[in-house]
Amino acid sequence: MTAPIRSLTAGQVAAALYVSQATIGRYAVLKKIPFDVTPGGHRRFNLAEVRSALLCESTQPELDPEVLLSDMRELTKAVANLSARIELYVQQSRTKEGVQ
């Protein structure tokens, strides 16, 4: 049997699992999920392996306050960034239309 191909980045795995990239990084550091390291030092994952590891670890997810706070900060930054981009778009649209 051949080993699974680990070619996905932490960001790709995070998006597929609806978690933050930081969470995937923490799980890798804690050796909760399998990964390979590229010659350049980047982690690569196999989504099926990660899902399996996370499902096998526990049926009851552990709610670590530090992880939750970190994820909340990351999401807050993303929302603030999106809000600023929307405001800029609205201002640019009004300027083009001659409305202020």
Task: Spell out the domain ranges in the chain.
Answer: 1-60, 63-100
According to the model, what pLDDT value does residue 33 have? 94
CB 69 within 8 A of CB 47: no
3.40.50.720, 1.10.1660.10, 1.10.540.10, 3.30.70.980: which CATH number matches 1-60?
1.10.1660.10
Q: How far apart are CA 56 and CA 15, in angstroms?
A: 20
* Model confidence pLDDT, tens digit, residues 28-50: 999 999 999 999 999 999 999 99
> Which class for 48: exposed (0-12), middle (13-18), buried (19 or more C-beta within 10 A)?
exposed
* Model confidence pLDDT, tens digit, residues 61-77: 567 888 888 888 988 99
Q: Examine the pLDDT at 2 and tell me if it is beyond 90.
A: no
